[in-house]
């Protein structure tokens, strides 16, 4: 695979605080790359360095095989980005905003082309409405249209579903998949939700306190053979005793509310049948990948967490 | 660069606050014109009370369009820096506040380019403001009051003077004065842009620019020799009213005015150099600081 973005030993400090610490990763051409971490993990800081909004303390960033600092203008012509909130000129219409940022990218696009761009994000019918009348989801979609207006090869979306309702989240998710599958764009999406990255990304990295925890293929990292299954029954103690004598007794635990065991996702129907055969009524059964479990530990605990091993 | 400037001017033109300055100038000028049309003679009597005995003139012609424009500019050019600060102080900080600064900076636009575009846009705004002032204060006044020889009341040292400029020798002085005012107000614009680099909301740099102008203006008006010699030459506000120099007509050995002359061109020229040096300084620091700045808004 051809590397499109190469981040090498990147560091950023604000005084004594190390926001990004020796971070290295690679985004390949055609990837939908998930950039995962809890709030404050250093995702936005890293993205801002990739977009030259802030200067790194040390380390190197290469985009399209070129040094970012030395070829900033040339590189940014091929990059589109939405960083956190999609803030646009509220006193201008959707069309005017799009036209203005197209011109800023050095393009003079026809009205038809701009309307086509608005159509891609489902805003063609609101082209002449002022942005101040838009919902958060509409602003987010317009922000994406602005990021795409100059047809960039690489798109960076920083927490694109923040503050959106379920329909808005689904719309953005579909748009990302469409851009990747139909237009062949390389996309870096940051999020603090593993479930979101799991759906859209083919590769991912998890960072914590500015450091890389794990990087790789999503399907490898989220291998279904490493699934943690949470079970709630009408009689947890009895269910636990039965499971202790079964093939799933190796990584079996119980707390006040739930039984947890680690197994393959494919075993879940067998577990349900096993418990039903023992006349145990299941109230809840919830599969969760061990990486998700690990990520939850990271985000919920300030205590030391051992490195993740797949 | 030209395309970016067009974008900037488009944004300025679409913001309601832009028109506050034009509305304020229109209102103030109209009030002046109404007041002088209704009771201008009282003002003229007050101004001439010390020189009535040794100065002959037709008072009905003394209040004319040229005289009105001078009176209006004398008052208005002190307030206009506030209007310029409204736009310039918002230049970068306003974008940071709206969140659009980070979006602009993800486009292939350099930071130096952005500052320069903001500067030229503020400069053009200042020029448009002055053109509007010229239309309202000069041409509308000429329409209402007519054209005639112009009287200038001046205090030089401890002496009160009245200078008379013939009507065919006035217009070019106004064009020169407006040109000078454009340079002077551009200093305010570049100061506003400089301060806006360091802030993430517009109020701070606008208020700071206005406060600096007011503070320096007050210091510039303290007539104590030690301040005259050691402080005033370093304050840009000391040179903001240099436009008046174009109306101080040169005189010959007999004290007769020389048509087309200026009493002290060298002082005006030096003032212009100092103002331009301030523009370069403020702009240079703004570019340097902005290039180093982490955009966290």
Q: Using 50, 70 and 90 to split pLDDT, how confident is the model at A228?
A: confident
How far is residue B174 CA from its own chain's centroid? 13
Nearby residues of A220 by Cβ (< 8 Å), 6 or more positions away = A310
Instruction: Let me know if residue A57 belongs to a domain.
Output: yes
Measured between beta carbons, the chain A residues lying within 8 angstroms of B90 are: none
Q: How confident is the model at residue B234 (pLDDT cuts 50, 70, 90)?
A: confident
For residue B187, give the nearest of B132, B246, B241, B247 by alpha carbon: B241
Model's pTM, two decimal places? 0.82
Cβ of B294 within 8 Å of Cβ of A77? The answer is: no
Q: What ipTM is given for this predicted complex?
A: 0.78
Which among B7, B102, B106 has CB closest to A100? B7
* pLDDT at position A298 over 80: no
- Is residue A64 domain-resident? yes
Q: How far apart are CA A185 and CA A177, in angstroms?
A: 10
Per-residue pLDDT at B149: 87
Pair (A277, A167) in one structural domain: no
- Residues A174, A243, single domain; the answer is no
A81 lies within 8 A of chain B by CB: yes
pLDDT at residue B2 greater than cutoff 90 = no
pLDDT at A222 over 80: no
pLDDT at B61: 73
Cβ-nearest to B294 among A54, A85, A91? A54
Q: Are residues A144 and A290 in the same domain?
A: no
Indicate the SS3 state at residue A232: strand
Report the CATH number at residue A296. 3.30.70.980
Mean pLDDT of chain A: 86
User: Given B4, B6, B106, which is nearest A51 (Cβ)?
Assistant: B106
At B241-263, the pLDDT tens digits run 888 899 888 888 777 888 888 88
Residue written as tokens 């790194």? Answer: A56
CB atoms within 10 A of CB A220: 10
Min Cα separation A197/chain B (Å) = 24
B105 contacts A51? CB cut-off 8 A? yes
Within 13 A of A46's CA, how many CA atoms are on the CB side? 37
Structural domain includes residue B43: yes
Distance CA B112, CA B209 (A): 21
Identify the band that residue A300 occupies on the pLDDT scale cut at 50, 70 and 90. low
Per-residue pLDDT tens over the stretch A268-282: 899 999 999 988 999
Contacts of B106 in chain A (CB under 8 A): 51, 53, 76, 79-81, 83
| CA separation for the pair B156, B163 (Å, rounded) | 11
Is the pLDDT at B53 greater than 60? The verdict is no
Residues A121 and A258 in one domain: no
Indicate whether B261 belongs to any domain: yes
Q: Tell me, what CATH number does A102's domain have?
A: 3.40.50.300
pLDDT by residue (tens digit) across B32-52?
889 888 887 787 777 776 665
In a domain, B297, yes or no: no
What is the total residue count of chain A?
Answer: 310
* Residue B107 with chain A: CB contacts under 8 Å: 76, 101, 104-105
State the pLDDT at residue B57. 62
Residues A107 and A251 placed together within one structural domain of the fold: no
Crossing angle of helices B171-197 and B65-88, rounded to 10° = 10
Q: Provide the pLDDT confidence category of residue B212 given band limits of 50, 70 and 90.
A: very high
Same domain, A46 and A188: yes
Task: Specify the number of domains making up chain B.
Answer: 1
Across residues A19-47, what is the average pLDDT? 90
> Could you tell me which of A215, A214, A190, A212 has the C-alpha nearest to residue A200?
A190
Q: Are A197 and A267 in contact (CB under 8 A)?
A: no
Closest chain B residue by Cα to residue A102: B107
Total domains, chain A: 2
B200/B216 Cα distance (integer angstroms): 25
pLDDT at B50: 63
CA angle, A61 as apex, A55 and A63 as ends, to 5°? 125
- The residue among A168, A198, A217 that closes a domain is A217
Cα A38 from Cα B165, distance rounded (Å): 75
Q: Which domain holds residue A163?
A: 3-217
Residue A227 in this model has a pLDDT that exceeds 90: no
Instruction: Give residue B26's domain range.
Output: 2-292
For the cut 80, the answer to whether the pLDDT of residue B140 exceeds it is yes
Chain B contact probe: residue of A48, A49, A77 with most B CBs at under 10 A: A48
A190 and A249 both lie in a single domain: no
In this predicted structure, the answer to whether residue B175 has a pLDDT above a threshold of 80 is: yes
In this prediction, residues A7-20 reach a mean pLDDT of: 90
> Which of A17-21, A105-109, B17-21 ranks highest by mean pLDDT?
A17-21
CB neighbour list of residue A55: distance below 8 Å, 6 or more residues apart: A49, B292, B294
| B183 band by pLDDT with thresholds 50, 70 and 90 | very high
């Amino acid at each position: 695979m051809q590397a499109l973005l190469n981040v090498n030993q990147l560091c950023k400090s604000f005084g004594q605080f190390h926001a990004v610490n020796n971070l290295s990763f690679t985004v390949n051409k055609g990837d939908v790359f998930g950039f995962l971490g809890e709030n404050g993990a250093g995702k936005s800081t890293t993205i801002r360095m990739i977009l030259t909004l802030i200067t790194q303390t040390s380390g190197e960033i290469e985009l399209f095989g070129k040094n970012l600092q030395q070829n900033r203008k040339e590189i940014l012509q091929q990059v589109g980005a939405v960083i956190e909130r999609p803030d646009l000129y509220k006193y201008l219409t959707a069309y005017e905003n799009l036209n203005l940022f197209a011109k800023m990218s050095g393009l003079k696009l026809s009205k038809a082309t701009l309307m086509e761009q608005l159509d891609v994000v489902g805003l063609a019918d609101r082209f002449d409405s002022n942005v101040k009348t838009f919902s958060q989801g509409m602003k987010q979609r317009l922000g994406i249209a602005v990021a795409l207006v100059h047809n960039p090869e690489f798109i960076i979306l920083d927490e694109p579903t923040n503050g959106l309702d379920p329909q808005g989240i689904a719309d953005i998710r579909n748009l990302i998949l469409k851009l990747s599958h139909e237009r062949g764009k390389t996309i870096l999406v940051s999020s603090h939700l593993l479930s979101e990255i799991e759906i859209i990304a083919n590769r991912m990295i998890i960072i914590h306190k500015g450091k890389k925890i794990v990087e790789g293929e999503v399907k490898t990292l989220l291998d279904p053979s490493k699934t943690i299954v949470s079970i709630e029954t009408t009689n947890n103690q009895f269910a636990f005793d039965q499971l202790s004598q079964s093939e799933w007794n190796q990584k079996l635990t119980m707390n006040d509310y739930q039984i947890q065991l680690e197994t393959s996702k494919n075993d879940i129907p067998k577990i349900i049948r096993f418990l039903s055969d023992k006349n145990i009524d299941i109230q809840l059964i919830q599969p969760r990948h061990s990486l998700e479990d690990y990520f939850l530990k990271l985000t919920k605990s300030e205590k030391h967490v051992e490195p993740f091993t797949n | 660069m030209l395309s970016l400037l067009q974008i900037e001017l488009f944004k300025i033109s679409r913001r309601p606050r832009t028109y506050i300055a034009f509305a304020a100038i229109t209102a103030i000028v109209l009030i002046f014109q109404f007041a002088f049309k209704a009771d201008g003679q009282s003002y003229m009597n007050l101004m001439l009370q010390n020189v009535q005995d040794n100065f002959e003139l037709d008072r009905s012609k003394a209040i004319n369009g040229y005289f009105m424009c001078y009176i209006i500019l004398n008052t208005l050019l002190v307030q206009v820096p506030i209007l310029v600060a409204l736009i310039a102080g918002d230049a970068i900080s306003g974008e940071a506040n709206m969140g659009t600064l980070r979006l602009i900076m993800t486009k292939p636009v350099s930071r130096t380019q952005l500052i320069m575009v903001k500067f030229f846009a503020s400069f053009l705004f200042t020029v448009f403001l002055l053109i509007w002032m010229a239309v309202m204060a000069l041409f509308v006044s000429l329409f209402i009051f007519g054209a005639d020889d112009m009287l200038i009341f001046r205090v030089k040292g401890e002496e009160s003077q009245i200078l008379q400029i013939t009507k065919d020798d006035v217009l070019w002085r106004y064009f020169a004065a407006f040109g000078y005012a454009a340079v002077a107000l551009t200093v305010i614009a570049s100061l506003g842009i400089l301060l806006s680099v360091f802030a993430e909301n517009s109020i701070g740099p606008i208020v700071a620019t206005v406060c600096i102008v007011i503070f320096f203006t007050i210091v510039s008006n303290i007539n104590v020799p030690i301040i005259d010699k050691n402080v005033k030459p370093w304050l840009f506000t000391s040179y903001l009213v240099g436009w008046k120099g174009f109306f101080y007509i040169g005189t010959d050995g007999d004290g007769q005015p020389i048509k087309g002359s200026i009493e002290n061109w060298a002082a005006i020229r030096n003032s212009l150099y100092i103002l331009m040096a301030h523009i370069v300084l403020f702009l240079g620091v703004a570019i340097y600081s902005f290039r180093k700045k982490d955009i966290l808004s």
